[in-house]
Each structure stands twice: as C-alpha cells, then as structure tokens.
Structure 1
Amino acid sequence: MTAAARKAFEEAVSLEKSGDLDKALVSYLKAQELAPQDTEIAYRTACALLQAGYLEEAQSQLRRIVFAEPDHLSARASLGNCQLLLGDLANAKQNFAEVLEQTPDNRNALYGFASVLLKEDMTADAEVPVRRLMGLLPESPAVLSLFAEIQAKSDQSTAAIAAYRKALKAAPDYVPALLGLSEILIRRKRFDEIIELTLRASQLTPADPLPLELMSDALSGKGALEDAYEAAEEALKRNPRSVPVLVRLSVLARKLGRPAAGLKFALTGYDLDNKAQGPLNALGAALAAQKHANQARSVLTALSAGKSLDPEIRRFVENLISAEAGKPRTEPVSAEVKPAADEERPQEKAPVEKPEKDRSEAATQETGSADKKPQPDPEASSDAQGQIPNVLGLQRQDKS
C-alpha cells in the first residue's frame, strides 16, 4: 500500500467511524484506485458499498475478492448478505453454509443463514442458528427480533412478544421490532399500543408505508375510520402500487359512505393485479352496498371461477364512479362501526396479554396518547378553522 493509498484509507476509516458513510465511501474508492490489489481496501470498500445500498456493485467486488481468496470468510459472509438482499437465496445460503463449516460461530453467517431459512419457510431449522447466535449476542436487537419473527411464525406469540419487548428495551427505536410487535398485537386487538408503536416507526422511517398500513389496521379496529382512512391514504402516497392498501381504502371508503372512492380503489387494485382476490372481493362488496346485487354477484362469480372482470361490469362500475363523483359525500351511519366478521383478523389461541401498567412518562410524552386527538389551536388562522387534526397530525376537513 502506497503512502497516498494509506492516507486515503485511514481517512475513509475515520469518516466511517464518525458516521459519515457517503464521504467515507468516496475515500475508500480513492484508496482502492491508488492500490487496486490491496485486499483489505477492496473488502472495506465493498462493505461500504453494501451499507450505502449499492448492492450490485458490492456483490461484484466481493465476488472478485472471494475468487482471488476463497478462504476470505468475512468477504464470503458479506457476499452472502448481498445475495440475500438481492433475493438470490440459493447462493446466499451456500455462502453462509461454507463460512459456518469453517467458523461455526461466525455471527454474520449465523444471522444470514437463519434469515434465508426463515424466508424459505424452514422455521424449525432457522431456530437452530438463531439460538446459537443468541448465546453469542444475547442483547442484540437484531438477533432478538429475528428470534421473535421465528417464534411468531411458529405460533409462539407469547415468546415472540417477549423477545420484541426485550429488543425494544435495548433499542427503543429499532424499527423491525416496533413493526414486528405491532403485527402480533393486531391479532390481540391491542390497538392503542399499536398506534403508539407504528406512529414512532413512521416518524423514524417516513418513506416506509408499512407503519402506516399497520396503523390504519389498528385505527379501523377501534372504530376510528376517518383516521384509518387517512393513514391508508398516506401509505398509498409512499407506495402507489400497493394492492393491499388499495383494498383497505376501498373497504374503508365503503364504510364511510363514499361509494365512488370505494369502487375506484377496488378497480385500481384489480388493474394492478387481476389475479388477486382482494380487489374483486372489495369491488363486489362495494357494489352490493349500493344495492347493485346482480353486478355484485357477477363480480364474485368471476372471482370464484378465476375469470377476469366482465367488460360490461367494468363499464357499469366506471359509469357509477363518474356519476357518484359529483355528488355530495354522505356520512356513515356510525363512526364506531365495527369491522365486518370477514374482515377481522383471526385471534390466536394464546392468552390475551395483560396491558402494561408501568409505561414511562417519557415514552408517553414522546408518542402521545392514541386515545386523545390533538385539540385545534384556538389561535389558528381562518384557513384552519373547521378542520380536525388526526392521529398523524394531518388536518382533516370537519364534515359534521
């Protein structure tokens, strides 16, 4: 390694330690250009590329290292991580297995190998490397969350909840634990806690639609349909091609007395995925709610027969959407409508968890109470008058 390459390399390491990954990557690439044969520089550069999300570039570099030095186990494990993120499960699994054959306690390979097995629905097999990893890293939020995910898939929800809570105790802002715990608590109808968890997750990862989807589920479960609708709308902004979110919006629009929106969301979902059952179910329900029984029956018959939507029914739906679009919005019979039996998530057989009684005051201040919506500012401008802030802090027009 030349003096210039060493200087660039040491600068890159220092920048990486300080958390400035973008500048560190620039320095790593500069060092590699100055010393293209140096394996250490090449490996650290590949890891920086992987951390920065340049998966293809990182994979290419790691492959070169492993080809030149087959016993470079760290590079092989990192290559497995790259392949896992790219969805190449077979090669990822092989690389992790080869590393573990030589170093059974390699933490990177244990975590990756368990993750691959979980994705392959080999839940019982995945638990073996995870338990070994927990012996090495008992307080790691990532390891605890992976263990919790395995327990949840094994219908061991109590153990999964305990592991997620332990992970959040170690790292209160660890998003996979916030979301994993929320998904389990949905089935236990712990709606207020889910709203707190998902609101925090959404603030930490504002581009991710999943926290808002789970929040919408929880708000709908407790009867806050307007807030559930707006949470789903926000989720759709983050992923406009999400069929499940479109179906959720169709159901909520129907319950809120918005027939055109219910039909439109369902039809959009169908156009995105005409093999999915959800959009046609939602479309049939929306038509039935508007007393169009024959058309609803046609949609549901096509669904059960695995056929496409009849063109005449499509034109009928499009005409309804156009006709309804200009009408004033109607209100639901009750804002406290409970989810229909076929739309509720099934409850698990595990005993219902007792609510926590000792939430810290600091956590309450950070997340706020999900049961209390913020009050309008009495000094607000005239533009804001007549609007109600929802759980997301968005301004909703008061339609009462």
Structure 2
Amino acid sequence: MQQLLPDDVIWRNARLATLDPSRSEPYGMLDNQALIVRDSMIVARVPESELPAHPHSIDLQGRLVTPGLIDCHTHLIFGGNRAAEWEQRLNGVSYQALSAQGGGINATVAATRASSPETLTALAEQRLRRLMREGVTTIEIKSGYGLNLDAEEKMLRVAHQLARQHAIEVSPTLLAAHAVPVEFRGDPDRYLTLVCEQIMPSLWQQGLFEAVDVFCENVGFSTAQTERVFQAATALGIPVKGHVEQLSRLGGAALISRFKGLSADHIEYLDDAGVAAMAQQGTVAVLLPGAFYFLQERQRPPVEQLRKQGVPMAVATDYNPGTSPFASLHLAMNMACVQFGLTPEEAWAGVTRHAAHALGRGATHGQLAAGFVADFIVWDAEHPVEMVYEPGRNPLYQRIFRGKVT
C-alpha cells in the first residue's frame, strides 16, 4: 500500500477504465478502485477495500473514470472560415475555380495574417472550450496558416496563450511547410529555404514549438522536399511528423519512419512497406476520419495491416476550416469505428495512450496508473463505449486536470 501523505487526495469508489496495456481486461477496466493523487500526479491505484481513512477523499459513488482525452492533431488557430466556400463546392464550383478566386488554404492564410493575436485567441478559445467540455485535457495545435516568420510566430504565441489561460496542456507544432504562399507561387524550393533557414531555427530558439510537420502530398510538398525539411529539423534536434498518404501514395510514412518520426497522419494510401517501416520504428499512425468524411473519400487506411504489425493507432479531430470543421473528439471516435473499422476499445486507446505516444508523452499521459499525470475524466456513464456510440450525448461529470477539478 502506498504511504499516504497529509496533502494527498484520494479519488475513491470509482470504476476505472485505466487504458493500461498491462491489464488483460478490456479497457483495462477495474471496479471498486481508488486513485491516490499527489500534487499533479497519480501515485497509486488501489482497491477500495485497502483504503485507510484519510481527510482528503472524494467519493465518486461508483462512477466511471477514464484518462483525460488527447486530441493529437488539430489546426485550431486560424482566421475567418470557409463555410461559404464549402457551400459553393456543394453547388458545383470546382476546387480549381475556388483557388483561382483566392479560395482554399490561401484564403485562410490571408485571413490569419490579417487577424490580430487577440482575435485569433478569441476564435480559438471557442473551439477549444468545445473540446474541453468533451474531456480533452491535452491538445496538439499546429501553425501553418501564416507561412511567413511573423505570422507563424503569431500563431504559435496564441497557442502558448491558450495554454496559460486554460486548464489544458498544449503541444505546439510548426507546420510552416503546409503550402506554398502566394508570394512564392511557382517556387516552392525557395520558400522551403525560408522555412529551413529562418522560420524553423528562429522559432525553435524561442521555444515556441515541440515538433515539425510537413504536408507531404501531390498537392503539397514532394518526398524530396519533405526530406529537406526533416534534415534541417533533425540537425536542430527537433522531432518530426507528417501529413502523408492522404490523397496519394508517395512513401511519406516510410520517410517519417526513417527519421524516427513521432507520427504519420492521415495514411489512407499507406502501403505494406510503409506499415512495416512504421512498425519497425514505433511511429504512430494517426487516423483522421473527419477529413475522410468531409471530403467524401473512399480509400480507407489499412487498419487490419496496422493491427497485424502492431502499429499503434491514434485518433484525432484534425479540426481545421477546410476539410474537418468538427470540434468533437467523441465524433471522431465514432467515425473511426464506423468508417475505418476500429473497435470502440481501439478508439479509446487512440485518444488516450496512443495519442500520448504521438505527442512524445507516452510515459506520462493517457493512462490511469502510478507515475502518470493526474488528468482524468469522471463520467455519468456505465461503460466507455457510450461516448463512442452516442457522440451527441456528453455524460461528462467532472474534468480533472493536474489533480484539480476544472
């Protein structure tokens, strides 16, 4: 039995879905349990019957407790919206015509560049609160709608501001290699020189991001161009990840794995060689069913091959204005099951321990176990499947961040 200290807090009489892979029970489920929290960490998980009397105990009355949810791929910060553009597309206007009119990603870049930090913060807060109300306690936020040094820095500083103002952990990612800005149209390599030689080293030196992302795709950057960015990042000691194999098969996942990247995201066109490379290096597959749905795609990621090779599968919202405007991780979990064939237990692992690994936090986040941060959710629900089965209903009872109710 863990030696209790006077300031410890016991969260008792709970049904724990620990998501601990060392447990054989589905979801790592344990009944009649208690969590002992010291400061901001879980120091023990003990049966209710072994608890001594303690002045600081909270009776959860048999409620379900899970780890806090982790949304490991979002584009939460941007100016404007693309609702009118989406309507035009549904009315038959082609993407090429919209782009020629200044639509697409460059419309969001223009709106983001023109927005003040205060405006971007206010807009992002609305989206963030919706995710927090569903139980999200850790979130990744990418830049990538600035595409120059000042605007990329502005976006990343807004991400840090959100972390300071809200009870949530933010993992900021530099996605300067998201698209070629209009001022470099026709010369992507010159733009990547700016990314590699100015934007990335300057913002890394300021401690504004944790990892570098690249949109490696036939409408983005080639594998050779992506490798150039990864080489520059690696030289600075920066972890890498990437948007890969979403619309075509370029070999981006294998490239990420060669650089021991954190995650390969989207991966609808991932082939067997890419799966094997990811399995060998421990690269996480991040599934993004919101974009798959919104774009009415048909090519599903190779979930069965990922299972067979033991590649961890995370699930995220991919919240963004162009292809996945869904600030609901519960909905993403449901979509991952319905569209991609994940089991509900796999979806839960995908928004907890596997999402934690995708953000380099696998040893500290995403499980209810000793040594993990005390981020957890108390639900008015009998079983974790309920949040996957019925995403419109949110049975959240309490959200605990770093051991405190928020």
Structure having the higher strand fraction is 2
TM range (shorter): under 0.3
Give me the TM-score of the superposition, normalised by structure 2: 0.24
Q: Which has the higher helix share?
A: 1
TM score, norm. by length of structure 1: 0.24
Larger Cα Rg: Structure 1 or Structure 2?
1
Structure with higher RCO (Cα < 8 A, 6+ apart): 2
